[in-house]
Chain A
């Protein structure tokens, strides 16, 4: 196996750690490339199809390279009734991307997620794990502008 994926040994060899192995890949590389699928299949001694099957089942795993900042707009119940679809629309308009897409500068990726567990601050979104709550249009756009300014 190439040394690029040597870190897979952290997950151990047991097949029950396949998901853990894939999570390690995604943490290091940001997404799961075709090369990663082969490497993981080799490591756990299973077929690439089996690995791909597990990857495609779980929403967490991404097969495309994401932008520098991952915007996750929460569309949990509380956020939804507090207007999260509008938040997503405003972001889409500002950045010109739909959920599941990355902008041309590879700076922002947008996705909607089921629930970030901060329902009392609804509507919320997270950027690379940092949560922003009680969003309105102005606040949301300001946050995006601040991130863009900082590159």
Chain B
């Protein structure tokens, strides 16, 4: 009997100490970032607290489990007040449209400083559900020492995939397991669509109803076949076919000379001590290469307890001082980028070139509510082409056929 009571008391005590103490106003902010990027966001949150006495920002970091956590919390009607967001179509019904607030505070926010391409990714049916806080475009990293040792000229802006393949072929060395380039057999379709755009096509029609003739267009199949052929001719190593050694690991170990990636690889590559350069994505023929634009956008829950406070916080995150603090991605404000010298720096400048030369595209996932399921078939087609080392058209046609039932 005593034991039981003791346990009950211990339990009660333990539970009491863990419950949060009451504060004047607590703003919940959920993020998927970890490590340094998370630390930066925490310091931005502390700055916001300093500027707004009586407000506590509770930073909730879920890392890799972000999507699961958000699904549960959203589904149960208990989302955080402010959150990082990428899947706007899935959550739009529970997010607060911001276009009126943006219009109201336009002068203060200096929107001309932010590229319209960055606003486009969080807009559905004319409603804006997120403010960007940082972004990245896609580029090619290359190993300067390897190029010098092989006596090959470094890639230049305006280069083509043929140039890349010609260079890559010269790095192949079976003895040291060295390749010129790496092709991801299971790319994120969101990033992969840039190659469709670059080759003059897209995944889905502008009205979001048709994939036949788009996803499986000749231009699309050409893209897939080209990458498959690079694997076949050993110009590139295939990533993610049973081996999850990442492209960045191979690049940092000097096993690939060129590596297509984005800002998320930058810190790792810089700290690896590799002598590297950065160049824009190659063109298909003479059409300027297009880039997928990945942004960390901030959204507000529709039922946030303090919508005005939440909005202040979101605005603060896209303010010049907060944007200047971020190092894991690129500044959404051109004034900050210029002030930091990034637009002149040869390492960072290609990212901005990619942003400039990318004409505004709407990503497929914003255009069809069933895109998640359709995309699964597309992923399989890409993977099948890479394993097959060809036959893109047949695999894409099958993907289109299997997607038909999601398009009505």
- Do A and B truly interact? no
Chain A residues with a Cβ under 8 A of chain B: none
